[in-house]
Structure 1
């Protein structure tokens, strides 16, 4: 094997070099890689590159531009959903390639990464948008390291973008219920807002809910699929823990039955033209509703009620706030929301809890009074 040890190197002394057999500009093409800790690591990397050359999918990192590497890397990510691929491509087009695209992969350094982060701040992007774009670049560079195309990931030398906690927008229970009363019957998508307030479900979960997922007798629903922004019905939910059961109130069961009567009437009305996906929230012809349609209805509701501006997702927060006010245990709330652990729920909603220190102090006084009474 064409592997060698650089005796003058202070660390990672092993390297390999070999000729590919191709002739360019009258010279034999040579591939050389340095920086391996052991001879075995150098041999493994050399073997992987030879395999790539034989398959015809090898590219030289000193020559390939970062945008071309990103394109190939994204093409190899077979584990991503179509929606995630669209998200990555949008980030590449708008934020990543304009700054990093024309830089050779092998020349990317920490200064380039900092310029990339700064460019997003200059565009006044939100914290989550900046963190997401950075995560895409970071993941791609980690893949480049694993493939021995670069020795180190330059993203590791910069300060990672952080998400600052925003003030959570929630409605008071009285206003939320009044809002539902005022907007009922004003849109076929009213039921989506109702379910968000009454169950805390995510929008995609609400749009993917089927009538067969609802157990009217036992007053529960089962979240087993979602609808994406592209109206694609997707099996499963956001995470494994998001596939869950949610208990329903008596009023919620009654409201769902009223809505089901309307849907059944539409099925009869449109006959063969009706596309029956068994969805609770759907178009007139039974197809998946678009997030845009729900959003437009939501905007009309807000305007009609002159309500404080909050997002549709904030209805999930409103639901949690109402549960906390009623003294529901955080463990139950966590299960209801489909969080992976109670610590996730506490991290997001812990600040909504009442002052537990004050309550604890009062309980001590109550205990003292009780014990004093028994002595008398």
Structure 2
């Protein structure tokens, strides 16, 4: 018999076999305090059913902060890219362990309500909805692993409700603003950064991680395969791109090639002048000594020329949006735009720039009426 109930004083207790230890000795669990024999038998049957269905979880006093630390450092972190691991490590230490109301709660007592209150707290602290949803996803993965490790029977994140992503307004430059800005920074050594951003839609990190070996002047193509990323305590490093769609070929124009050739010639002159003092990193965009360019310097330069040229203040990433909007207004197929931008799914491109496509629907009503009249 796996279990039984018995009376102990004025209350009832059940005892149940829950397995055997490494030496083969029987492990039992007991619980008392039931006022009625029927209540003890009901509780016993519940545990027996869980054991039969392999769903029984031994209660534990392990707290969340201890579990998440063990899970992240001993199981999850080594499976990630260096840059991703760094950002997730910050998330775990700064939000899951510190500033977390359920950090010291036993793992098996955390509920969906606790998760929702935690997410709402982060929302009130001003964190972006996109970042909070990443927290939600990471918590789900962690608790799911707890189930696999037989620490939990239910994932409390499953029924929690993360906030919907609030998309920022897209600000873009007009054609005239593009020309004004480029003319203003024409003689700056980082002019090529802004030219590439406007003419290719590449991300800032992709441009700063670009190497001369990635360029094919004969075929007029840029091979995008790496990015400049920041790792806490490690500085800026060149890393491979995350997804297959991000690794792409971008056709470029003769004008862009001519500007790249000028940059290459300037670098060769610096190499001859500085000799070994010039870093041999093969970077298209670099400092005067051939080292990686700090992205913050690019942002400061951009801000300065925006002020000088008196164009609409936008973020660097909005240059990418400007590039996409020009392609859309020119009637380029959305799938081709998605491929150029490195989006894994054209749906992402469409959802991001749908508001720029009103002309697509303008003739729908007339098309329907014309078709109906033709077949009267």
Task: Give me the TM-score of the superposition, normalised by structure 1.
Answer: 0.80
Q: In the alignment, what sits opposite 1:354?
A: 358
Q: In the alignment, what sits opposite 1:177?
A: 179
Counterparts of 1:1-376 in structure 2, within 5 Å, are 16-19=18-21, 39=52, 41=54, 62-75=60-73, 76-77=75-76, 78-97=78-97, 98-99=99-100, 100-186=102-188, 188-230=189-231, 231-235=236-240, 237-360=241-364
Q: How many Å apart are 1:333 and its aligned residue?
A: 0.7
Unaligned runs of 5+ in 1: 7-13, 22-27, 47-59, 372-376
2:110 and 2:323 mapped to 1: Cα distance?
46
1:367 and 1:159 mapped to 2: Cα distance?
46
Q: How many Å apart are 1:38 and its aligned residue?
A: 7.5
Would the aligned equivalents of 1:110 and 1:154 in 2 still touch at CA under 8 Å? yes
1:280 and 1:286 mapped to 2: Cα distance?
9
Count of aligned positions: 338
Would the aligned equivalents of 2:223 and 2:248 in 1 still touch at CA under 8 Å? yes
Per-residue CA deviations over 1:190-211 (Å, capped at 9, x if unaligned) read 3222211110111121111111
Unaligned runs of 5+ in 2: 5-15, 31-45
Task: Give me the TM-score of the superposition, normalised by structure 2.
Answer: 0.80
Would the aligned equivalents of 2:18 and 2:27 in 1 still touch at CA under 8 Å? no
Would the aligned equivalents of 1:62 and 1:107 in 2 still touch at CA under 8 Å? no
Would the aligned equivalents of 1:96 and 1:116 in 2 still touch at CA under 8 Å? no
Q: How many Å apart are 1:82 and its aligned residue?
A: 2.2
Would the aligned equivalents of 1:20 and 1:31 in 2 still touch at CA under 8 Å? no
2:158 and 2:291 mapped to 1: Cα distance?
46
Tell me which structure has the larger Cα radius of gyration. Answer: 2
User: Helix, strand or coil: the match of 2:250?
Assistant: strand
User: Helix, strand or coil: the match of 1:157?
Assistant: coil
Q: Find runs of 4+ consecutive structure 1 residues off by over 4 angstroms.
A: 3-6, 28-42, 360-368
Q: In the alignment, what sits opposite 2:11?
A: none
How has the CA–CA distance of structure 1 residues 261 and 141 changed in structure 2, closer, same or farther, with 3 Å as cutoff? same
Q: How many Å apart are 1:19 and its aligned residue?
A: 4.1
User: Helix, strand or coil: the match of 2:239?
Assistant: strand
Q: How many Å apart are 1:15 and its aligned residue?
A: 8.5
Q: How many Å apart are 1:309 and its aligned residue?
A: 2.5
How has the CA–CA distance of structure 1 residues 147 and 163 changed in structure 2, closer, same or farther, with 3 Å as cutoff? same
Higher alpha-carbon deviation: 331-340 or 304-313: 304-313
How has the CA–CA distance of structure 1 residues 61 and 303 changed in structure 2, closer, same or farther, with 3 Å as cutoff? farther
Would the aligned equivalents of 2:198 and 2:320 in 1 still touch at CA under 8 Å? yes
Q: How many Å apart are 1:288 and its aligned residue?
A: 1.9
Q: How many Å apart are 1:313 and its aligned residue?
A: 1.0
Q: How many Å apart are 1:316 and its aligned residue?
A: 0.7
Q: How many Å apart are 1:362 and its aligned residue?
A: 6.6
Question: What is the alpha-carbon root mean square deviation over aligned residues?
Answer: 3.3
